[in-house]
Structure 1
Amino acid sequence: MLNNSILSVKDLNQMVKDLLSDAIGQIWLVGEISNFSRPSSGHWYFTLKDDAAQVRCAMFRNSNFRTGFTPQNGQQVLVRAMVTLYEARGEYQLVIDKMQLAGAGLLQQKFEQLKQKLSDEGLFDPIYKKSLPENIRTVGIITSATGAALHDICQILKRRDPSLQVIIYPTQVQGTEAAGQIAKMIQIANVRQECDVLIVGRGGGSLEDLWSFNEEVVARAIFASQLPIVSAVGHEIDFTIADFVADVRAATPSAAAELVSHDNKEQIRRILIQEQHLSMAMDYYLTRQREILNTWFHRLQAEHPQAKLSQQLNRLITYRHALYENIQQYLLKLTNQYNRLDRKLLSVSPEYHITFYGQTLYQKQQQLINMIKQKLAMSQHQFVLQTSQLNNLSPLATLERGYSITTNQHDDVICNSQQVKVGECITTKLKEGILVSQITEVK
């Protein structure tokens, strides 16, 4: 019977694709490449197979450019892929985003899985990391007795701090039994408690060479150690599980030796600094004790009878000086008083008054003479000024300028026609001579 759930082929393939993606998701698998093709689009298409089965695979251009090599038919590879469905043909396939050659790839995958496991358990947590002791006297080294790492570590320790004691816990660092031996030596060093810090490591090598330090048994032995452990495996670019679990990671075995040792020159410098501090402290202590001794000595001197006599003598000398000063001040006071009375007597003497008034009379005479001279000079100046002004106003001066003066019979100066009458005689004064005229007509 039909219902509303009828699907199209496209819908079915979409559902199957979603189910595959959700149920399986991302996986790692190993297989042999065959039917490899690389079209112009840059994508890779091939088949991944083993002895019993095969599956189609695609690795798109945005992922395969990071691979670092071009796959060849017949190669064993390790891939990380998503299981999905190619809807156009209804075939399931793998979409690969990462590819490695099978040997190193499997180890890397194992490394990542163990790293994630131990990280989830908290073995890498910083709260469990122990600090290196400040004063390290004995260093334990867990490594190969014939390896270059041991030689480098011992040489640096001898150069930097010859006083350090070194205990070697020899072990294999490569091979199937190496991990167990390394873990056992860590346990032995913790039981003996004969060193302050442990260096666990070896020289450089490939991932397979360093694999003993990626084993879980070594990681758990390092985590359980009561002694601080410095991991020194390989070169600076090499990282192992031991590096993440250890309390301190050194880039190289030589760097580990430098971490656990103090430079001899630096120690000498510190000793010299401590010596200076001690010397300064002793100087301060001795100075303080000397001050206390001087205090008691001065107190003893102050209570000595000779000191009392010296104090009385000093006091007597002080009083004598004070008496001498008082007498000098009293004599000076009497001298000043005598001089004041002498000046007062002199001021009331007749001779003084005569001299004083004589000087005053002379000053007054000089002032009077000066005043008379000034008055005469002023009067003379005024006379000259008034004479000049009078001369300017004189009728004679007017005549000198060509004018004439006419007067009537009463000698009044005629200024207008109403002052005269017809038939009246008038007199006209000129610069030289006088004219007498008779008025015949007044206008």
Structure 2
Amino acid sequence: MQNPDIYTVSRLNSEVRLILELQFQRLWLVGEVSNFVQAASGHWYFSLKDQAAQVKVAMFKQANRTASVKPQNGQQVLIRARISVYEPRGEYQLLAEIIEPAGDGLLKQQYEQLKSRLQAEGLFADERKQPLPPHINRVGVITSPTGAAIRDIVSVLQRRAPAIEVIIYPCLVQGEQAASQLKQMLSIAIRRNEVDVLIIGRGGGSLEDLWCFNDEQLARAVAACPIPIVSAVGHEIDFTLTDFVADIRAATPSAAAELVSPDQSHLLERLRRLQSAMVQAQRSQLSRLKPNLKQLEQRLLALHPKRRLQQQQQRIDELQLRLNRVIGQQLSNAQRQQQYLQQSLQHLSPAKAVKQQHEHLQQLHQRLQRGISLQLKQQQQTLGRLSNQLNTVSPLATLARGYSISFDEKQQVLTSSKALKAGDSVTTQLAAGSFSAVVSGVSEG
């Protein structure tokens, strides 16, 4: 071979380690502990074996300090580990991260597998979780009505926010029927839609005691709940699937009650701080805006309609004074002109001629009166004479002597009875009055 790629043992072991660590993800194993050794550094070293094989395991101090059990030879355990190689001796080994007794470990393995699947589906994603309402008036609690959890929740709510109403949805929180009852109460709470937020949980216990809160169907129901939900299962170190899928996880039931109930004293203090900050902000803003206000006031003073009205009023007063002066001058001129015309009129006045004509008119009037009276007297005398002559020939004088005049229907004077016939109407005029008659017979004479 030309220029062969020659490995050193260190290079080989290093590359094998990298291959194993990259090829295999974390895995769970169950087996029996043997050859357990705790080094002075605090690290644990042991073998994990079954009936046909064994593998070396190392659990460093950073991992084993949180372990729930310390392995003992002959003990069945469940571990979660990464595959690696101990390069100085070329031995492949497991680097343990979690160790549990085999019984709890199997449950833990199921828990981790279901947790990984739900997480891959996005049920733990923060963007799908709902925030708590800003104002909470009614809280629903899904838990045992006789457990310590409900007592703790009610106690905290009465202390911090006694106005909040609590509705309990009673159910089992341990045992085979617990998961189905939890789901049933959750469905009832959603259907009634009578609370602002839900708390689901119970007090502490073993992994088996809390196992109902790791039910897959319950976890999916909690994730799909339209009402904001707080999971409060066990103690602070306990984690269940409802903690991950709920909108908020509380370390304990008491902590959940504190989350949904603002402390009144804290609210008052915060309100006072906000009020103080608001006053300070207002003062600062007023101080910052004061120069602008001064400028605006000056601009407003210059452009204010009142200012313009004052100027216009002053202009009107000025024009009024000018008008008064002009009118005064014109009146003065007119008065002087009137005096001049009056004097001229007096020189040219026709009053004297009018007086003379008036006296002449009175004389003519008197002469006319005398002439009219004389003429009237002469005419009266003539009229008397003519009247006497008329009376002499007047038919009235004849009538006065006992005669009468008859008229037909056409007011024609009747001079002969031939013009009449029986039934005709005639009117007869006497010297004093007249009368009407109907002709009953006519005789010729």
TM (norm. structure 2) is 0.49
